[in-house]
Structure 1
């Protein structure tokens, strides 16, 4: 199974222009248990949001200069509570990206409402796939 994930990551990187770190990280997310501070429901939604983002927007985000922290960052001990450390994927919460620029993502919620998530410098965040599972 690990070989399959490696192969998919290599294809996405080569054919799709998606950073290998993002592909590998998403593969790790799928195998992870929910980390401390994250309910199983929140975790399932985050993985779904991450997969959709990777399929639809990751190559664009990378070409626009969005970094791993900008997209995948979370607070190391309070991943679902510290919005000031959340990257774009953590902010989605079921919303879908409809427009992406170098500085802003326009999100559409299930109700049809839109809001903006702004790319901003964040220190101290870690990629979501580096979190430890709940004890």
Structure 2
């Protein structure tokens, strides 16, 4: 094996070994990272609104992803959208998919956004699918 290949392989292993995110949150990062911030996956969402949501979700995964997993949050509770109508059906949306604001804290049943709070255990609330699954369906994957 060449020295360059060995160094590159070692760098990749050290990145994996030092990733502070648990596997579930690392999957969220990978799946969400595949969505482009300049290309809204849902109809009727402006490029600006989607860019804000994308940035807030990316920030959330990096800063609070490990805590979210530890507290039992799921991908649909955080990043869910309606299976057919995407962000148009807010009642199906996960906490991070509404508003495009960066989270400032996470607790067992809520995420804090300054003067706003998003809850996950609202009785009777339907559950959506992760936005990356919605995007894959839309693209026919």
TM-score, normalized by length of structure 2? 0.70
Q: 1:74 to 1:60 in 2, by over 3 A?
A: same
Offset at 1:63?
Answer: 0.6
RMSD: 2.6
Return 5+ residue gaps in structure 1 as ranges. 1-6, 109-113
Matches within 5 A, 1:59-98: 59-91=66-98, 93-98=99-104
The number of residue pairs the alignment matches comes to: 119
Match of 2:129?
Answer: 126
Offset at 1:16?
Answer: 2.3
Return 5+ residue gaps in structure 2 as ranges. 1-11
Cα distance in 2 between the residues matched to 1:126 and 1:32: 21
Cα distance in 2 between the residues matched to 1:68 and 1:46: 15
TM-score, normalized by length of structure 1? 0.73
Offset at 1:13?
Answer: 8.8
Match of 1:39?
Answer: 46
Given that 1:12 and 1:23 are in contact with CA atoms closer than 8 Å, whether structure 2 keeps it comes out as no
Q: 1:11 to 1:32 in 2, by over 3 A?
A: farther
Structure with the higher strand share, 1 or 2: 1
